[in-house]
Amino acid sequence: MSALGGLVAGVAHEINNPIGFLNYSINNAKDYVKDLLEHLALYQQYYPAPADPVQNNAEDIDLEFLAEDLPKLLDSMQRATDRIKNINTSLRTFSRADTNRKVSANLHEGLDSTLLILKYRLKANEYRPAINIIKEYGDLPQIDCFPGQLNQAFMNIIANAIDMFDEMAKKHSFAELEAYRQQISIRT
């Protein structure tokens, strides 16, 4: 368990560099694209009737669509890298290597990292609807514990609850399952 936690923490650390580069590059690309599109709009304002080859090329590449879609594409790329950063942070939180002594930890961070790791299992599939998570977090202080072991316990409990929904899907139709709430409540 400790070796696996160390491996995951190492992989998560290695992911940080390329993700940082991508975030920085996407921000720069957004600025460059904005400048280019503003320049293109200015050009079109002063030269509304371009030569035929320029006009034909604009139609061939659907310039209007490109100018509208490119910023959206960059925003989507930004959201994807942000998601990878969040997953990476959760992996590091989840796999924090235990030491010989207890360390101070936030239970809610451990639960949130566990839920993010299990998020793919909560999604709807062809056999059952999505499982909703209801979080009712109280105001808890940090506690001294072995966070890696505690996170593993959270993982086992929540994975078992998801397994129960998957087992129900073997015995009931999708429509029958939709009639009942597919949810897991977590209270602290």
- Same domain? 60 vs 133: no
What is the rounded CA–CA span in Å between residue 180 and residue 164?
Answer: 14
Tell me: pLDDT of 79 over 80.
yes
Tell me: pLDDT of 117 over 80.
yes
Which two structure tokens, joined as six digits, stand for 152?
A: 């593993």
Nearest C-alpha neighbor of 157 from the set 123, 184, 127 = 184
Domain tally, the chain: 2
What range defines the domain where residue 45 resides?
2-94
CB 113 within 8 A of CB 90: yes
- pTM equals 0.60
Tell me: pLDDT of 97 over 70.
no
CB 15 within 8 A of CB 88: yes
- Same domain? 89 vs 118: no
Domain stops at, among 94, 118, 133: 94
